[in-house]
Amino acid sequence: MCDLDDGGRLALGIVLATVLCAAVPGSAQSPTGLGRSATPAEIGAWGAIIGPNGEGLPEGHATAAEGKALYERHCARCHGVSGTEGPDDRLVGGRGTLASDQPQKTVGSYWPTATTLWDYVNRAMPFDQPGLLTSDEVYGVVAYVLHLNDIIGEHDPIDETTLPAVEMPNRGGFVPDPRPDTGDSAGPQP
């Protein structure tokens, strides 16, 4: 027999299920429906975004020779004195290995533009103290990492006009995405 108590519990269950479903209106949508786009002000707070052609690079100047001590002080403990020992990402060597059985993804083997390296180091490194380095210091450690990869000379002047002209070994390894741009922030869809 179905007494009042059972009926009450059943009704409560239905109410709870209704409330829970109503609380997650996006549950039927794809994950890309979550959140919102960052505003220009929020993006601006993270600093200038440097384009591949160097647009947005601040004035500054350094050579690899000047960057060596900075690299050893701020970077070597995680990337190794020669950029190959780790413990974190290997930055040096591996050129020509990407299509091999043992690909090594490094600045020298993979990165298409030196300006992106400047942007990344400026924004994100040292990993535990991002924003620590001045613009000149970022030019210095970037020049040193490029020099360790045999891409530039020890005394080549690196600044906002010479850096975009640096030819990265894997520049030709990147091709434009031929798929149509859907306007979605997630980029072209397959």
Per CB under 6 A, residues contacting ligand HEC are: 74-75, 77-79, 88-89, 91, 105-107, 117, 120-121, 125-128, 133, 141, 145
**What is the dihedral sign for C-alpha 139, 145, 151, 152?**
positive
The nearer residue to ligand HEC, 128 or 181, going by C-beta atoms, is 128
50 burial level (CB within 10 Å; 0-12, 13-18, 19+) = buried
Q: How far is the CB of 149 from ligand HEC (least distance, A)?
A: 11
The nearer residue to ligand HEC, 106 or 115, going by C-beta atoms, is 106
Q: Give the integer Cα–Cα distance in Å for 38 and 144.
A: 34
The nearer residue to ligand HEC, 42 or 128, going by C-beta atoms, is 128
Q: How far is the CB of 23 from ligand HEC (least distance, A)?
A: 34
**Separation in Å, CA 59 to CA 27, 137, 163:** 48, 12, 11
**What is the dihedral sign for C-alpha 47, 76, 111, 156?**
positive
Q: How far is the CB of 130 from ligand HEC (least distance, A)?
A: 9
Q: How far is the CB of 98 from ligand HEC (least distance, A)?
A: 12
The nearer residue to ligand HEC, 145 or 163, going by C-beta atoms, is 145
Q: How far is the CB of 83 from ligand HEC (least distance, A)?
A: 9
DSSP 150: T
The nearer residue to ligand HEC, 62 or 91, going by C-beta atoms, is 91
